[in-house]
Structure 1
Amino acid sequence: MARRIPPLNSLKAFEAAARYLSFTKASEELFVTQAAVSHQIKTLEDFLGVKLFKRRNRNLLLTEEGQSYFYDIKDVFASLSDATDKVLERGAKGSITVSLQPSFAIQWLVPKLAKFNDLEPDIDVRIKAVDANDGSLTDDVDVAIYYGKGKWNDLRVDKLYQEYLIPVCSPMLLNSEKPIKSVFDLNNQTLLHDTSRKSWKNFFKENNIDSTRYNQGPIFSHSSMVLQAAVYGQGIALANNILAKPELETKRLVVPFSEKLMSKNSYYLVSSEKNADFGKISAFRKWILEEAMIDNQQM
């Protein structure tokens, strides 16, 4: 004997509306119009042959039949949700695409990926380098690392680091013909820039250095190029504290003085709100947030 089961969309609409006692909130959760929710509930009422809702003083209430039906099906939906979560977690195998700027990939993520591979050997990470983020995730991207102020709508956003900028140079420059003892010695040095050229200007202003030389020096399209130029003794770079960490730890770069520049921007981990807690995406997010926490504790 075939089971008599009403349309799933009608059940979903009823369960959400009964839980909120609101067609409007149910429509927002289901990403449909209020009229669509009303239509689905009417379909369910016709199928069952009873009224499920009533109105009293403009308030939406469940009828006696509606209360009984909601009590019986709500656990079914909870079980269905739990079962789906388990399948998604088991379905973590496969690949995950991560979108981020090239410099952050080269300096931070790529050196750490072996840890993730050991932890999750069934998940292959695909790196997609992009020069900028527009606040939206394309269908081919599961997770992204954005650089900015953290204001992106409809995304799960987690701050990885508070960025600040520090001067860095090759050790060979410290005792060169033009030694570096303080920030005022910057007037005698070659300054290395990324394409914005704003960082050195702000650094000079913050430290009361009266000079227009902040606008002079070679320009590179990516921060990793600026760092490599500094490693080879071509000048002083104003570097992101995170991106410069590998070179500072190996002493290929040094910090000639303590002055730094706090940034209004930072790096953020972003993903679709609806997918952030499932399967391979959840596994990657958990790992990368733990790595960032470890780095923050060491700073």
Structure 2
Amino acid sequence: MRYKLRSLSGLLAFDAAARHGSLTLAAKELGRTQSAVSQQVKGLEDQLGFALFIRRPREIELTPAGRALAKSVKQALEGIDDRITTLMRRHEPNVIRLSAYHSFAIQWLIPRLPRFNMAHPEIDIRVNADDHQVDVAAEGYDLAIRGGWLRKLPPGVKPMRIEKYMPVYAPELAGGRDITAQELGDFPLIGYEDRSYWNDWLFHNGLELNNPDFGKTYSHSGLLVQAAIVGAGIGMAPLATAAQALIDGRLRCVKGKASSNGFCFYTVASEEPPSENVAMFVKWLHDEMDQMEIDLQQFLTEN
């Protein structure tokens, strides 16, 4: 079959211009000059025999025919991109492209990843920290580590860990001595903007505070834990994020029972069943979580 178009460059220029509504922004995306993109779109229009854009002094607008073509071109290019991604994965079987939340990646995963690398030097784990819930396959990942509520997990998904929370603080905050639960009201309390984490722990431990000093709030658990480490106050922290700092002695726990609101971490693979390497890495993640729980329980018992 002989295709009507002699070049795809005009279609790529048209697609970018249609998405941005601007020849200038299309040129920036494609790494070309605005004049070159304009000429390529004009060349495409000449081949087709009809206009794709209405051109105004500072903007362009798709014609009805342009809108119809833009939709088809977008679908076709996305299909090509998906196929290329799949083929690239097949030719790089020892690469695992991983998406994980910032705090989880920095505070939990990265410190432990060298152990996996030593055991499996042939596998290249490429981590991208991103807090939005990625479309694993469409965005080119092999695996994503996500957080969500246990009651809302997709069917058949096994959580890596159901998160637990404890008040943590730097030893220097109280001059090196332990802080008791009854003294919580004497120190700044830090946490998320949602104070239910603090309320849940207090309720779980049969405590009530009068006029507590709620200080700074943080959007990420990693920021919260770091604030506690530098002595900003007592933080209601997820133990997975605070574990290493607790074991290293940079943080201590207020004595009490850990609370949980059903938040958990789980994995989503781009393919089911996952590849052998992805399945092995997921098992390693679960094993590391289990070992962390053992280490934490031992630490909390001894301290």
TM bracket (short chain): 0.5 to 0.7
Deviates further, 160-169 or 142-151: 142-151
Please give the alpha-carbon distance, in whole angstroms, between the structure 1 residues aligned to 2:238 and 2:268: 20
Q: Out of 254, 257, 260, which is 1:256 matched to?
A: 254
Q: How big is each residue's C-alpha offset from its partner over 1:215-248, in whole Å with a ceiling of 9 and x where there is no partner?
A: 7210122111111111111100111111111101
Q: Counterpart of 1:104 in 2: which secondary structure?
A: helix
Q: Which amino acid aligns with 1:108?
A: W
Give 1:290 shift: 2.3
Which residues of structure 1 form unaligned runs of 5+?
A: 1-87
Q: Counterpart of 1:245 in 2: which secondary structure?
A: helix
Give 1:169 shift: 0.4
Give 1:132 shift: 4.2
Please give the alpha-carbon distance, in whole angstroms, between the structure 2 residues aligned to 1:113 and 1:122: 14
Give 1:100 shift: 1.4
| Structure 1 residue 286 corresponds to structure 2 residue 283 | yes
Give 4+ residue runs of structure 1 displaced > 4 Å after superposition.
88-91, 212-215
Q: Out of 219, 222, 240, which is 2:220 matched to?
A: 222
Please give the alpha-carbon distance, in whole angstroms, between the structure 2 residues aligned to 1:294 and 1:180: 26
Please give the alpha-carbon distance, in whole angstroms, between the structure 1 residues aligned to 2:202 and 2:291: 32
Q: Out of 243, 256, 268, which is 1:245 matched to?
A: 243
Q: State how 1:152-163 maps to structure 2 within 5 Å.
A: 152-153=153-154, 157-163=157-163
Return closer, same or farther for 1:117/1:181 CA change in 2, 3 Å cut-off. Answer: closer
Give 1:208 shift: 4.0
Q: Which amino acid aligns with 1:183?
A: A
Q: What residue in structure 1 maps to residue 12 of structure 2? A: none
Please give the alpha-carbon distance, in whole angstroms, between the structure 2 residues aligned to 1:102 and 1:240: 14
Please give the alpha-carbon distance, in whole angstroms, between the structure 1 residues aligned to 2:192 and 2:93: 38
Q: What residue in structure 1 maps to residue 293 of structure 2? A: 296
Please give the alpha-carbon distance, in whole angstroms, between the structure 1 residues aligned to 2:210 and 2:101: 30
State the superposition RMSD in angstroms.
Answer: 2.8
Q: What residue in structure 1 maps to residue 184 of structure 2? A: 186
Deviates further, 225-234 or 207-216: 207-216
Return closer, same or farther for 1:264/1:126 CA change in 2, 3 Å cut-off. Answer: same
Please give the alpha-carbon distance, in whole angstroms, between the structure 2 residues aligned to 1:257 and 1:224: 22
Which residues of structure 2 form unaligned runs of 5+?
A: 1-88, 298-303
Q: How big is each residue's C-alpha offset from its partner over 1:162-202, in whole Å with a ceiling of 9 and x where there is no partner?
A: 321011101122348xx764323111210111243321122
Please give the alpha-carbon distance, in whole angstroms, between the structure 2 residues aligned to 1:271 and 1:213: 46
Structure in which a larger fraction of residues adopt strand = 1
Aligned residues: 206
Q: State how 1:71-86 maps to structure 2 within 5 Å.
A: none
Q: How big is each residue's C-alpha offset from its partner over 1:252-277, in whole Å with a ceiling of 9 and x where there is no partner?
A: 1011322332231121122245242x
Return closer, same or farther for 1:250/1:290 CA change in 2, 3 Å cut-off. Answer: same
Please give the alpha-carbon distance, in whole angstroms, between the structure 2 residues aligned to 1:279 and 1:131: 27
| Structure 1 residue 205 corresponds to structure 2 residue 203 | yes
Please give the alpha-carbon distance, in whole angstroms, between the structure 2 residues aligned to 1:286 and 1:183: 37
Return closer, same or farther for 1:213/1:129 CA change in 2, 3 Å cut-off. Answer: farther
Please give the alpha-carbon distance, in whole angstroms, between the structure 2 residues aligned to 1:153 and 1:205: 30
| Structure 1 residue 137 corresponds to structure 2 residue 136 | yes
Q: What residue in structure 2 maps to residue 274 of structure 1? A: 272
Identity %: 28
Q: How big is each residue's C-alpha offset from its partner over 1:140-174, in whole Å with a ceiling of 9 and x where there is no partner?
A: 121111112344437x6232123210111011223
Q: TM-score, normalised by structure 2?
A: 0.60
Return closer, same or farther for 1:273/1:158 CA change in 2, 3 Å cut-off. Answer: farther
Give 1:211 shift: 3.6
Q: Do 2:168 and 2:237's aligned partners in 1 also have CA atoms closer than 8 Å?
A: yes
